[in-house]
Structure 1
Amino acid sequence: MNINDLSTQLLYTTVPIFGIKSDGSQVSGTGFIFSIFDKDDTSKSIPLLITNYHVMEDVINGFIEFSLAENNMPIKGKSIRINFDGDVLKNKLGSLDLIAIPLADALNNLNKNNINVFYRTISKEMIPTTSQVEELSALEQITFIGYPSGLYDNYNKTSLIRQGITATPIWNDFKGEPIFLIDAGVFPGSSGSPVFIYNQGSYPTKDGISIGSRLLFVGIISETILRQGTTYLDLGRVINSRAMYNELENIMRPYI
């Protein structure tokens, strides 16, 4: 495994979420690790689990799963579950279908017990600026990471990588909401998946082709779109990452 490869690291930005709701029904979804770094000391950060609010709503207990680590490498096939209950449903991000769950206490408890977990984090620096968004093409290839229908490689403990294209421009607010649509195989369980523009080797710009790689965190899948409530259209709604961060900053301002 080449852990220094960027696409390999993206696998470890997400964790599967499984829960039981108050009515006894079971749910699954995707969460990703987002860290807010101290502006004066980047060695300090606040790790958060971000997912859709609807995934967690009415959940009374459940768990997420991290890969175990040794020598700063994931141990293939080894993981640990972190349990949670309904008390985590506190930090809804404004009117967005998103929730932020603090992870510091859980990760610190694992560390105190000499249990090392492997994960990679998304941060503000990966969110495109306004000028970067305006320079994007209407048609961009996108990559998203997650657990569609609760599926993942439970032997190697890794998520699934999927790709598609933008169905509406990222720089437009679809129907006046801070979202855009993607043309991709989005299924239940993909809710909460981070969406990236990830180009290797080269990518188009307004001035032609730029040589190099590009990684931008552009949004979070919130739902799949169905025709008449039954037929999958291979379209998904994606909440804009900038809108997510603006709401996150509002609730985290006392801590940063």
Structure 2
Amino acid sequence: MDLSVELIHATVQLEQPLGDGTRTVGTGFLITSAGPDGAPRTVLVTANHVLAKMPGAEARIGYRIANPDGSWSYSPQTVRIRDAGGGKLWTAHPSRDVAAISITAPEPFAKAAIPLSWLAEDDTFKTNQVGAGDEMMALGFPRGLAANQAGFPILRAGRVASFPVAPAKVFPTFLLDFSVFPGNSGGPVFMSQAARRRLGASEATEVQFIAGLLTQQVELNSERLEIGIVTHAKFIRETIALIDNPAAPVTQARTEVFAGAKAASAEEAVARD
């Protein structure tokens, strides 16, 4: 299993035209989890602010269709995100910038959705001795730009730029050293190392997991510092659980304070069509 390729297929562009030649753009990815009846369902995960900044009732999900000749076609479809009264239809985490909504996806995308078990758990970082300086990758659509006309996401890489990075209850986010642009918000951040030797281990092991999702960037005096803020996967798990049970337990994490800098949304601007 190559997590990079699996996540590329599961990551989609989210957009909503604003009627003035511009569009709000973000990134989301698909998770498969069991519904209340135990049957598998497809859940779209993104940053809460991506959907909150879309005033219309429908958003577009950038699906891609494989053609018989080996080519791909970009085939966006709409998903309803607000009811007739303008109320949100998605579930938001009460304290973190995470949103999830159950959707009906085309069959190829339903099959491409990432299993919930691939999301990092409380002890994943500690077990795999993940910390400052380790490389992680991120998928997204910076300023609405895709890797090609088929609409595949752009893969970027950066190193964990903060310490400590766990546990999530104490450090609900961590920093990643890479350039962040509007449109990146909501994209998955993950580790995919075919061989990694842990301290004291006799053999190298494969380490692949989704660490979280990109939610913000760090700015100082209106200047981007090219540092992304990643929200731990623990809060994605909790948000998905809240879809079925609004009373499901959630982590009361601390609020981070960035001295001299601000945590700015990675989706504050709009991109032109």
Q: How high is the TM-score relative to the length of structure 1?
A: 0.79
- The answer to whether 1:84 aligns with 2:79 is yes
Report the Cα distance in structure 2 between the residues aligned to 1:10 and 1:247, rounded to whole angstroms: 19
Which amino acid in structure 1 is aligned with residue 216 of structure 2? E
Q: Does residue 96 in structure 1 map to residue 96 in structure 2?
A: yes
Task: State the Cα distance separating 1:38 from its structure 2 match.
Answer: 6.0
Deviates most, 160-169 or 176-185? 176-185
Contact 1:144 1:162 in 2 (8 A): yes
- Structure 2 residue 227 is the aligned partner of structure 1 residue 232: no
Note closer, same or farther for the CA distance 1:118–1:164 as it changes in structure 2 (3 Å cut): same
Gapped regions of structure 2 (runs ≥ 5) = 247-273
Residue 199 of structure 2 corresponds to residue 206 of structure 1: yes
Give the structure 2 partner of residue 124 of structure 1. 116
Match of residue 56 from structure 1: 51
The verdict on how the C-alpha distance between 1:227 and 1:234 changes in structure 2, with shifts beyond 3 A counting, is same
* Residue equivalent to 1:178: 172
Counterpart selection for 1:15 from 12, 16, 22: 12
**Aligned-pair CA distance for 1:206:** 2.4
Structure 1: how far apart are the matches of 2:150 and 2:19?
31
- Cross-structure match for 1:149: 143
What code does the residue aligned with 2:209 have? L
Pick the structure with more strand per residue: 1
Say if 1:142 and 1:209 are closer, same or farther in 2 by CA, change over 3 A: farther
Return the offset for 1:213: 2.4
Tell me: CA distance 1:117–1:216, structure 2 relative to 1, closer, same or farther (3 Å). Answer: closer
The CA distance in 2 between the partners of 1:185 and 1:33, in whole Å, is 24
Give distance in 1, aligned partners of 2:13 and 2:80.
15
Shift of 1:249: 1.0
Asked whether the equivalents of residues 9 and 120 of structure 1 are also in contact (C-alpha less than 8 Å), the reply is yes
- TM-score (normalised: structure 2): 0.75
Secondary structure class of the residue paired with 1:12: helix
Q: Which residue of 1 aligns with 2:236?
A: 244
**2: CA distance, partners of 1:131 / 1:86:** 33
Supply the distance in 1 between the matched residues of 2:8 and 2:202 (Cα, whole angstroms). Answer: 27
Structure 2 residue 197 is matched with structure 1 residue 197 = no
SS in structure 2 opposite 1:128? coil
How many equivalent pairs are there? 236
Does the C-alpha gap of structure 1 residues 209 and 18 become closer, same or farther in structure 2, counting only changes over 3 Å? farther
Distance 1:117 1:152 in 2: 18
Matched position secondary structure for 1:163: strand
1:40-85 deviation line (CA, Å, top 9, x unaligned): 96xx3121111112111142143111111468xx952313111235
What is the SS of the residue equivalent to 2:180? coil
State yes or no: 1:188 paired with 2:182. yes
The amino acid that maps onto 1:10 is L
Q: Could you tell me how far apart the structure 1 residues matched to 2:168 and 2:2 are?
A: 33
Query: How far does the alpha carbon of each residue in 1:115-138 deviate from its partner, in whole angstroms, 9 at most, with x for none?
Result: x55762223211233333223232
Pair 87,38 (structure 1): closer, same or farther in 2 beyond 3 Å: closer
- 1:55 counterpart SS class: helix
- Structure (1/2) with the larger helix percentage: 1
Distance 1:12 1:164, change over 3 A: same
Quick check: 1:173–1:180 contact (8 Å CA) kept in 2?
A: no
Q: Which structure would you say has the larger RCO, counting Cα contacts within 8 Å and 6 or more residues apart?
A: 2
| Unmatched runs of 5 consecutive residues or more in structure 1 | none
**Matching of residue 215 in structure 1 with residue 193 in structure 2:** no
CA contact (8 A) 1:142 1:163 kept: yes
Tell me the residue number matched to 1:162: 156
SS at match of 1:87: coil
